[in-house]
Amino acid sequence: MRTSIATVCLSGTLEEKLRAAARAGFDGVEIFEQDLVVSPDSPEAIATLAADLGISLDLYQPFRDLEGVDEAQFQKNLRRAETKFQLMARLGIDTILLCSNVGTATISDDGVVVEQLRRLGDLADRHRVNIAYEALAWGRFVSEYDHAWDLVKAADHPRIGTCLDSFHILSRNTDLSRIAEIPGDKIFFLQLADAPALTMDVLSWSRHHRVFPGEGAWDLSDFLTRIAATGYTGPVSLEVFNDSFRQGDTNRTAVDGLRSLRWLEASIADASADSAAPGSGLDLQPLPEVEEPRGINYVELSTDDLGALTRQMHQLGFQFIGYHRSKPHVQLWLRGKARIIVSEVTEEAGTSSAPVNPTFLRGIGFEVADSKSAMERAALLHAKEVPRDQAHNDEVLRGVFAPDGSEVFFHQFNETTPAWIREFGHDHDEQISHIEHVNLAQPSNHYDEAVLFYTSLLALHAQSSQDVPSPSGLVRSQVMSSTDGSVRMPLNVSPQPNAEAVAGRGIGSVAEPYPEHVAVACEDVFHAAATALSRGLDFLPVPQNYYEDLDSRFDLDPEFLQRLQAHHVLYDRDEHGEFLHFYTSTIGSVFFEMIERRGDYLGFGAPDAPVRLAAQHRKNVQLSA
Ligand code: MG
Ligand code: MG
């Protein structure tokens, strides 16, 4: 599949954008006019640069407000078009995007528009230029793709075709069945964008909130399948207007974009292989398949405060198992099947100016059906491999960096105890406890990238997002999970102004890291809490007001309520079951949660999250006072 990206998706100068697109592996770009206008480079120099980089210039865009105007205005518009055709010749671009008129159209008459498109086509033919006519969702008289297609069809001119843009079509919820009527060779260009489900005016939605395929709420696989079935063979291009992307790192956004197309391409390639559906015109390439992960094999915490962290783990009932046989600073702690690797980070001599690493969640090992193909797939999706020292007799373990800098390892699933724990001198797991979810903080500007990362590399599904109030703002929370729930990861976007100050991974300031946590399932939360109490655990305090409110909400047995409060246990229930849990205080940017689920309660105690956030905020205020 030929891939392309509009320069408007990326930050930087035109030259930087072209270099980033080429480096990420795109086949071509759409030149957005504004990027050229502000560039000091001549059109010829841009063409030369693109050729040197090995990318094609696929489209010049946009040309606005041509059709549906009176004759005097139309003459002016043709003259304006001709100057663009001459410019395109200098750039070596043969196709221009024509947006349906939003500003100057005064004539709502398809006959007039058809005639004007035909005359534009004649002019274009003299310059050997193709016109891709696109219905903008907010066009004055033409706002639907099938209307634009009817006009193109009636114009019946070899230089006039249509451009289909998923945003303009899906944002209007237009019936997609008429796409099948369009011959593939009359689709002169294809633009893809996804978007979150928002209720707002469509122009603002389009200009600020488009995201790459897989990062929003739409079914782009279905959309692209329909396009493939027309026989379209041109580039599949990203046109994404997004405020964060435009401020983000150019190379990183380009990689995120290419990943979205590779993932989308593979999702259709797999489906068309199954059903023998058409799609060969796009030359779709599959990726090594990945099944949903079966569970979390381990979590790795990195710490500069080994004493505090391991003391807390002891208080929670974890047992120290041993040191790694070839990495003396790495320990294994177990509570049943909940496996925590603790790696101690010490300040290296001579680097005293470097910030001390606080305790942070360094990585997660996911159990996957085929670790080798998961890693191959990750590499083809341009994830960066984690460099790792490995002794010759250690279990081979490979992984990649997630967008927030944490490490994601692909661990071969197997019903038995993993072999690697022998590297810590241990040989079997108890069965009672396990890691039930991991809650990760995400910098807001890489949040969409994270959703696509976990969707495309690990086949996790994004659940609908929720906003949780905290003293410093709303925390956006979205759960990524496997279908059977064996892997669940709430991703939280912190409201802090410096959103990169997460988890102490050294990206941005670490002034007030947004905490992340490991949630451990246990059989009896009161027993776990009592043990922790007797071992002196610093629980996250829960206010009296919470328990009074709990009583009014659930009309609890007074003895049970008293028991909850005495054990610092929070409570929620729904029609399926109950949820009992307590939190530890935070060390560095990590805390723990112990959980007991009763019945089929599937949530995460969402009503309790604001209580936790407020308590953590109070602690932070105390600490900094
Ligand atoms: Mg468009
Ligand atoms: Mg994080």
Nearest ligand, measured from the Cα of 490? 2
Query: Cα(370)–Cα(412) distance, rounded to whole angstroms?
Result: 6
Query: Cα(478)–Cα(466) distance, rounded to whole angstroms?
Result: 6
Taking residues 42-69, report their average pLDDT: 97
List the single range of 30-39, 71-80, 415-424, 536-545 with lowest mean pLDDT: 415-424
Chain segment 445-466, per-residue pLDDT in tens: 888 999 999 999 999 999 878 8
> Tell me, what's the pLDDT at 248?
86
For residue 288, whether the previous peptide bond is cis, meaning omega lies within 30 degrees of 0, is: no
> Tell me, what's the pLDDT at 469?
81
Q: Where are the alpha helices (DSSP H) in 127-249?
A: 145-155, 166-170, 202-209, 220-230, 243-247
According to DSSP, residue 485 is labeled S
Nearest ligand, measured from the Cα of 98? 1
> Tell me, what's the pLDDT at 513?
63
> Tell me, what's the pLDDT at 307?
95
Q: How far is the CA of 589 from the centre of ligand 2 (A)?
A: 9
> Tell me, what's the pLDDT at 550?
96
Q: How far is the CA of 60 from the centre of ligand 1 (A)?
A: 11
Taking residues 234-238, report their average pLDDT: 98
Query: Cα(175)–Cα(87) distance, rounded to whole angstroms?
Result: 37
Residues facing 514 on adjacent strands: 502
Asked whether residue 500 carries a pLDDT value surpassing 50, the answer given is no
> Tell me, what's the pLDDT at 280?
64
Chain segment 134-191, per-residue pLDDT in tens: 999 999 999 999 999 999 999 999 999 999 999 999 999 999 999 999 999 999 999 9
Q: How far is the CA of 284 from the centre of ligand 1 (A)?
A: 23
Query: Cα(442)–Cα(476) distance, rounded to whole angstroms?
Result: 10
Q: How far is the CA of 590 from the centre of ligand 2 (A)?
A: 10
**Reported confidence tier of residue 277, pLDDT bands at 50, 70, 90:** low
> Tell me, what's the pLDDT at 498?
44
Q: How far is the CA of 62 from the centre of ligand 1 (A)?
A: 8
> Tell me, what's the pLDDT at 503?
47
Q: How far is the CA of 134 from the centre of ligand 1 (A)?
A: 7
Nearest ligand, measured from the Cα of 440? 2
Q: In 3-state terms, what secondary structure has residue 7?
A: helix
Q: How far is the CA of 425 from the centre of ligand 2 (A)?
A: 30
According to DSSP, residue 211 is labeled B
> Tell me, what's the pLDDT at 625?
62
List the single range of 10-24, 333-347, 496-510, 535-549 with lowest mean pLDDT: 496-510
Nearest ligand, measured from the Cα of 505? 2
Asked whether residue 210 carries a pLDDT value surpassing 50, the answer given is yes
Q: How far is the CA of 508 from the centre of ligand 2 (A)?
A: 13
Nearest ligand, measured from the Cα of 362? 2
Nearest ligand, measured from the Cα of 500? 2
For 343-389, the DSSP string reads EE--PPTT-TTSPPP--EEEEEEEEES-HHHHHHHHHHTTPPBPP--
Q: How far is the CA of 192 from the centre of ligand 2 (A)?
A: 29
Mean pLDDT of the chain: 91
Give the residue with greater pLDDT, 623 vs 317. Answer: 317
> Tell me, what's the pLDDT at 273?
62
Q: How far is the CA of 441 from the centre of ligand 2 (A)?
A: 4
Q: How far is the CA of 126 from the centre of ligand 1 (A)?
A: 25
Q: How far is the CA of 51 from the centre of ligand 1 (A)?
A: 24
Give the residue with greater pLDDT, 395 vs 538. Answer: 538
Q: How far is the CA of 444 from the centre of ligand 2 (A)?
A: 11
Taking residues 486-512, report their average pLDDT: 60
Q: Burial level of 465, CB count in 10 A (0-12/13-18/19+)?
A: middle
Q: How far is the CA of 398 from the centre of ligand 2 (A)?
A: 19
Residue 240 CA neighbour count, 13 Å, CB half: 34
Q: In 3-state terms, what secondary structure has residue 141?
A: coil
Taking residues 365-390, report their average pLDDT: 93
> Tell me, what's the pLDDT at 529?
96
Asked whether residue 319 carries a pLDDT value surpassing 50, the answer given is yes
**Strands annotated E in 288-337:** 295-303, 319-323, 330-335
> Tell me, what's the pLDDT at 226?
95
What domains does the chain contain, in order, with CATH numbers? 3-282 (3.20.20.150), 295-624 (3.10.180.10)
Of the candidates 266, 256, 172, 260, the residue with the CA atom closest to the CA atom of residue 225: 266
pLDDT over 70, % of the chain: 93
Q: How far is the CA of 405 from the centre of ligand 2 (A)?
A: 7
Q: How far is the CA of 504 from the centre of ligand 2 (A)?
A: 9
For 89-139, the DSSP string reads HHHT--EEEEEPPSSS-----HHHHHHHHHHHHHHHHHTT-EEEEE--TT-
Asked whether residue 224 carries a pLDDT value surpassing 90, the answer given is yes
Residues facing 488 on adjacent strands: 481
pTM of the model: 0.89
Q: How far is the CA of 561 from the centre of ligand 2 (A)?
A: 34
Nearest ligand, measured from the Cα of 63? 1
How close are the terminal C-alpha atoms of the chain, in Å?
58
Give the residue with greater pLDDT, 13 vs 105. Answer: 13
Asked whether residue 278 carries a pLDDT value surpassing 70, the answer given is no
Nearest ligand, measured from the Cα of 499? 2
Q: How far is the CA of 378 from the centre of ligand 2 (A)?
A: 19
Question: What is the β-pairing status of strands 3-6 and 236-238?
Answer: parallel
**Reported confidence tier of residue 279, pLDDT bands at 50, 70, 90:** low
> Tell me, what's the pLDDT at 505?
45
> Tell me, what's the pLDDT at 274?
57
Taking residues 295-320, report their average pLDDT: 96
Residue 441 contacts residue 468 (beta carbons within 8 Å): no
pLDDT over 90, % of the chain: 75
